[in-house]
Each structure stands twice: as structure tokens, then as C-alpha cells.
Amino acid sequence: MVTGGRNYFCEMKKSVLFVCLGNICRSPMAAAIFNHQIAKMGLDSAFFADSCGTGDYHIGQGADSRTLAAAEKQGVAITHTVRQLQADDFENFDHILVMDQQNYRNTLRVADAHHHPKVELIRTYDPDGGIEVPDPYYGTPQDFDETFLILNRSIQRFISFRLT
Ligand code: 4NP
């Protein structure tokens, strides 16, 4: 079954997959921010975004309520069902942006070597610098607000560097 990315219905779209550990905090927020920014630019018909986790802890659940709240405060809606990273993702997606070094290593482990160049740490694009998007899962609502800001500016720069 084709579950996302470059599928039969969107072959011409550029596709981006956001990856974290649980797929309830950082990566669903990132995919929603990406879709929001792309829609604001009037480019939503040209791109497809999805998210997933390297872990299987929360498969089938929705996003964390603190993720939903932080995004809603910024006018970004999230509709999401957790899924785990799968081998097909490396065929289906053009860009795979991961949140931290552990996700990076775990993602590469699932991918054939020729797909490795499409896997990048998302903060490579953060204009303010930084390496990882800290995991807010054990943190405060303010940590989720900070996650939003990091992702928002990194995605904005990714879009302008890579996609437009
Ligand atoms: P995420 O955060 O990777 O940003 O979705 C986490 C969510 C859940 C867990 C860890 C991180 N967990 O251990 O259940």
C-alpha cells in the first residue's frame, strides 16, 4: 500500500518527510508548519509533507495535546495519526528532515546507502544555528512554544533554500 509521499496521485509533487522519535510532538508540528507556510505562499499544490517516528510507541494515536496547543496559538492546525518510519519512505520522499542525532542514526539504519544524502538534520537550516530540535516530551508548554519557533524558522529557510 502506498501511504504517502510520491504516490499515484501526486507524482509531480516534491515531497518532504519529517522524522522524530515518537511522532507525537516535533515531527507532526513540523509537517503542519510546512503545510501552513506552503499554503501561505500559494504553493500547496506543488508539495506534499508527512511525518513519522523512528519508534513504535504511539502508532495510531494523535499528536500530543501540548503540540496541538502550541501550534494552535500560532494559527497552525494539526490533523495527524502516528506512524512509524518504513523502508518505502526512502523511495517516496525527496527530502527527509530529522530532529536530532539519534533520529538521524536510526533513520539511516533503515535506508539503503544511496538514499542517505536525502536525510538531513532539520536545524542545518536554522538561521540562528543549532544542531538538534530538543525533545519537548518531558518538558513544559514553554518548551513546546520554543519547538514551534525553532521549526518555523528552520522550515522557512529550508523552503527558500531547497524548494523555491
Ligand atoms: P517526539 O517526542 O519524538 O518529538 O514525538 C517524543 C514523544 C514520545 C516519546 C519520546 C519522545 N516517548 O518516549 O514516548
* Per-residue pLDDT at 10: 54
For ligand 1, mutation pick of 135, 138, 148, 151 (most atoms within 8 Å of CB): 135
Q: Note the pLDDT of residue 108.
A: 98
Q: Is 28 within 8 Å of 61 (Cβ atoms)?
A: no
Q: Which amino acid does the sequence have at 8?
A: Y
- Cell numbers 507556510 correspond to 37
Catalytic (active site) residue 66: no
Q: How distant, in Å, are the alpha carbons of 25, 68, 123 from that of 146?
A: 12, 14, 13
Mean pLDDT per 10-residue segment, the chain (164 residues):
47 92 98 98 94 98 98 98 97 97 97 97 98 98 98 98 89
Whether ligand 1 lies within 6 angstroms of the CB of 25 is answered as yes
Q: How far apart, in whole angstroms, are the C-alpha atoms of residue 36 and residue 38? A: 6
CATH homologous superfamily, domain 8-158: Response regulator (3.40.50.2300)
pLDDT for the residue numbered 3: 47
- Residue 95 Cα to ligand 1 middle (Å): 22
With a CB cutoff of 8 Å and minimum separation 6, the contacts of 160 are none
Closest ligand 1 atom to residue 23 Cα is: 5
CA distance 64 to 32: 13
Q: Domain residues of the chain, as ranges?
A: 8-158
Told to judge if 26 belongs to the known catalytic residues of this protein, a careful annotator would answer: yes
Structure confidence at residue 12 (pLDDT) = 81
